[in-house]
Homo-oligomer: A and B are copies of this chain.
């Protein structure tokens, strides 16, 4: 029972992702038609540079007037793969107003303004899908929104940025420093010329905001996400991690507080045990670990970026949206009914691994231990190394039990003020136990 009038797709952007979306739509047109129940047709492609040669795309479809394209009125699905805030936001809103549903891969926009976009979609009875915005090809948004819709998610912890995972994996496996590993990532095309969005955790923070919102059925804004980049992770940190049977990953962590009354979202480098499933995620792969009350521990693993993996996620959404249209229905909209407050980083309960350079004399450990006790932070292990070089210095590595982040950072502040503490060589959170 194939409908013959094709569904029309407008493609906004034809770069790394968009060109792959166009290619697959063309080469796999028959499969897509069979799965949707109607043929699907590329009705127009908006770009910035109209004269660039775009293999496999009918030049008559190319336009620089994206607004006119989304206003045509006969478009069923707008695929937004331009990126950035504007004109993407205005184009998406205009698409809804003109009766089109939208599939987007734009994490930055969704993290910043998802609620507005959802509201516009609902107002106009349209779908907003964005599987590709988090963890590329990995089916994650749909499992969280739909498969786990009957469960209570307590924690989402993931490696959601491939560039930084590539860098950290290189540092771990080769002993390289941050800059050397970054250079290699750049040379191999894993890092952009300006890697700030990746290495400072902005990209991961956008994804954390999106994931937390979906997982906890609440609104989490980008500003609610605590963010620390990974540019200060050193080869020495990796050596310390190894001694603890750990490695270091840049993690996005979204948690429900123990009392269930608030949530937190954060991005920072952390030590995780080598036995944790996330520890073995190599190179530019992504993986997300989900803990739900009934389901238990789940993990989703795969390529987090790249033209064709991302296009796979986009096209899965295109098929879903097209099916919804044929059904004259829409998929699940925003689910933010819990309206839970987002607590600041200080309320997060975690563990610290702290390396101190201290004076090598009796009583130092007692002094240090007193500071921890005064801040209500209980110590799990301490390792003390004399320098053996008569220099009068030693290093002290303290790993704490779980405590509020505010108490932990308060402890570090106080430690810095001790005469016998020459310096705080590194501080790293420990997760995944």
Using CB atoms and an 8 Å cutoff, list the residues of chain A in contact with chain B: 20, 24, 28, 31-32, 34-35, 131, 137-139, 142-143, 146-152, 217, 277, 280, 292-303, 306, 308-309, 311-320, 323-324, 327-330, 332, 335, 337-338
Contact = CB atoms under 8 A, between A and B. Distances in A.
Given A150-B312, A316-B146, A318-B150, A301 B302 contact: no
A113 to B, nearest CB: 23
Contacts of A149: 35, 315-316, 319-320
B139 A298 contact: yes
Contacts of A148: 139, 312, 316
Given A139-B139, A147-B142, A295 B319 contact: no
A319 B312 CA distance: 26
Contact of A301 (B32, B301, B319): B301
Contact of A295 (B292, B299, B309, B335): B309
Contacts of A277: 280, 301
Contacts of A299: 299-302
B150 A316 contact: yes
Residue among A280, A295, A298 with the most chain B CB within 10 A? Answer: A295
Contacts of A150: 24, 28, 32, 35, 311-312, 314-319
Contacts of A295: 137, 302-303, 308-309, 312-313
A84 B318 CA distance: 37
A332 to B, nearest CB: 6
A296 B301 contact: no
A35 B332 CA distance: 9
Contact of A311 (B147, B294, B303): B294
Contacts of A151: 24, 312, 315-316
Contacts of A137: 292, 294-296, 298
A267 B25 CA distance: 34
Nearest to A143: B139
A332 B337 contact: no
A299 B278 CA distance: 12
B292 A147 contact: no
A405 B277 CA distance: 33
A211 to B, nearest CB: 15
A119 to B, nearest CB: 14
Nearest to A32: B150
A332 B147 CA distance: 15
Q: Which 10 A-B pairs have the closest CB atoms?
A: A150-B315, A139-B147, A139-B143, A327-B329, A298-B302, A294-B312, A137-B295, A295-B312, A329-B329, A149-B319
Contacts of A327: 327, 329-330
Residue among A148, A292, A294, A302 with the most chain B CB within 10 A? Answer: A294
Contacts of A328: 329
Given A34-B335, A137-B298, A298-B138, A312 B329 contact: no
Contacts of A139: 139, 142-143, 147-148, 298
Contact of A31 (B143, B152, B308, B329): B152
B35 A217 contact: yes
A129 to B, nearest CB: 10
